[in-house]
Structure 1
Amino acid sequence: MHSVSKTYALTGARVGWLVTPPGVDEVLGKIQEATTSCVNTPAQHAALDALTGPQDSVRDAREVYRERLRASCALLDERGIAYLPPTGAFYLWVDVSHASRGDVAGWAERFLIEKGVAVAPGSAFGDGGEGWIRICAASPWEALRRGLSALPAPSRPS
């Protein structure tokens, strides 16, 4: 499964594809027909141009995101904030359970209002995400640094 959303910064295009073993395509085709149809023409042209055009921007963006993730992880380590090391995307999964106290969605909303920093509450991704937030490292570094610096660090034993 792949799409042009993140790799080519075409999140609004909603163009993707799926490669399946023989026979699975028939079942998935029926599901797709009932749920998704008619990718608009401009999105199809944008996806085609992205896939067949120069790929330098993909490499450059990957390096920028890799550096932002490295710097973000270093900042979180310095502040003693737990996170899961990213393994493929430009998102950080950060533990704020020490601050959210069982309501990470409510905490994320207050964090936005009080600190002006938007994060995705982990509970939006399922029950296992309670106490965690997702942070996008594709943001400009200064905004990312400011947001990470605003996160509450856990109390350290004295």
Structure 2
Amino acid sequence: GPPGVGKTHLMVGFLRHVLLERGIPCRFQDFGVLLAELRSSYTNGLSEMEILRGLINVDVLLIDDLGKGRNSKWESGIIDTLISCRYNTKRTTLITTNYTQELETTLRERYRGRGSTEGEELLMRDTLADRVGERVYSRLREMCDFFFISGVDYRQR
């Protein structure tokens, strides 16, 4: 869903329940922060896998803002490695994102013939598949149930 509607808040509440009530090891990881940590690891002499290992092996992982970034080949490789490793080990992975599954189709129907500038701008946005690639998106579709959360941006109130 769009920014500010409570996706992260809801998922962190769920993660707290899983950890505190069920005792299952969990980890929260903002995708943008992960990319920054990986970039800085090169100067610290760490490998990408040293940083990713904890995310790959934790029982329950929440990746916040998946798709955030420049969508470079390097970022796509990071997403692919992380999701593929978790997919192969059948680990629970929760994801929040501002990108939808089928944005283009939905918006074309909504704004068809209206001459809406807002609609045209939204049509130019990427879908989740555009941001993570078809291979990862296919795995996410098998691993995850998708829920769209809409509402007013809480931060703009």
The interval holding the TM-score normalised by the smaller chain is: under 0.3
Bigger share in helix: 2
Higher RCO structure (Cα 8 Å, ≥6 apart): 2
Query: How high is the TM-score relative to the length of structure 2?
Result: 0.25
Specify the structure having the higher radius of gyration (Cα): 1
